Chain A
């Protein structure tokens, strides 16, 4: 029973804190900080479904976030749909697309799969940069009218914030639910030894295509919400390669394959990154730190912070999943 698992309550508590802290003092600066942390957690926990659970490194995970942003913004502004409906439809559309991509590229394994995911990212970005309805390379803007159904811009920012916090909680709960399911067991078997898993009866093709598609859904929803909140989207910010790579660093830092690790790594790294980005001397220096951090983690604690915790306190494994 998922209700009996301590981590579920920790996730709900985290979401409640995220919602309450900025609201309590009407602290907009804190809200903007936390929304970035929430997006980082959404991207990392869904990336964890591929890398941590299934053992397939996706270098182009950000493509789901960007595409979701485009579809969502298009539906919400050009078509005039309600934001929530636009975001959900964006999620479904991107998931379906991912399923089709998945059937193709998931025949590849190891480094070849990783390369193909970069190919998907580059190809989608090239397509969108030339796609007339989405404004080619200049992208799309959200007109002020679009915020009217949500009670005007000021109110709309808070609404999108709460929606993103919800998506964050759902991402972590999804990871937790998959982890203890039979489907999740099949994924872990594939991660350990795909051929052995197939001989044991795991339909690897179906498992991989489904998880690739599932890992696209919530990032796409988050992309729709986030770019709507930001008021604009263009191909270079929607498909930012660096964010894709930093997602991998966050995951390794926290602990690949663990729910708590994906949240912890994302939170810590995102705060560090924001600090470095805004400090005038160290701007752009954060990528050097990201690289060094990744090396250190791989060398000293391949299981990340949570893996390190498991080694220190073996029994923590049962609680901190």
Chain B
């Protein structure tokens, strides 16, 4: 397995707050890497540093063997690293397909308008939005807007996709559809790095999980090990022996 993304000692400071503190991890080609942690742990900040929205305060980020530390988001997309937003950001005044065409035109392959339209149709079909292609992006439901985020990122023909809470706010049916979609994305050869709060989903989907708490990495392991990790349990529930207490409190 080759390393696709390598993050070494990355930090991000906002004034007196160390939002991301000396975080290191590796993402292998073809895997789904989960990123979890309590609210305010620095997950989205870490995404923003990786794709260049924020400049890191120290550390290096290597993508496909290339140092991308400090590159702007548009440069990072051209190298094949696309992302979605936690709070959806459709280009509201444009149609659904136009949104996706933007992704294709300015993505890794810099497609022409003609190629981009074909790519957009294909991608919309894949995420299940083909029937809404010509409607205004503004009029979509939240679930559809989340799919549009994924579609735009896919249209860039990325090697690695960063998904920031694509399941949040969806109903169970929509969650199942999205999980199927994420799996199909990975099966098509695109690696995935995803932030998620829906635990059951992330445990099922991820090959490995990185856990952040207060900006620091407290674990990096396969899902089964992560749930057993005392630090992780403490970060989520407050104190380490709560698991045993809860077990003890259960009726035998």
Contacts and interface: CB of A to CB of B under 8 A. Distances in A.
Contacts, number: 73
Interface string A194-225: 01111111111000000000000000000000
B152 to A, nearest CB: 6
Interface in A171-187: 180-182, 185-186
B157 to A, nearest CB: 11
A203 B91 CA distance: 16
A186 B113 CA distance: 11
A198 B72 CA distance: 8
A210 to B, nearest CB: 15
Chain A: number of interface residues, binned into ranges? 20 to 34
B51 interface: yes
A134 interface: no
Dominant secondary structure at the A interface: helix
A278 B113 CA distance: 49
B106 interface: yes
Contact of A201 (B74, B89, B112): B74
A203 B74 contact: yes
Contact of B102 (A180, A181, A202, A203): A202
A199 B85 contact: yes
B51 A196 contact: no
Interface string A228-254: 000000000000000000000000000
Contacts of A191: 93
A145 interface: no
Contacts of B107: 200-201
A185 B110 CA distance: 13
Contact of B113 (A182, A195, A198): A182
A37 B233 CA distance: 72
A270 B249 CA distance: 82
B106 A200 contact: yes
A284 interface: no
Nearest to A192: B91
B188 to A, nearest CB: 20
B72 A196 contact: no
B161 to A, nearest CB: 12
Given A182-B113, A188-B98, 12 more contacts: A182-B116, A185-B98, A185-B102, A189-B94, A193-B90, A196-B90, A197-B91, A199-B73, A200-B106, A200-B156, A201-B103, A203-B106
7 contacts: A181-B113, A189-B94, A192-B92, A193-B92, A195-B89, A197-B102, A202-B74
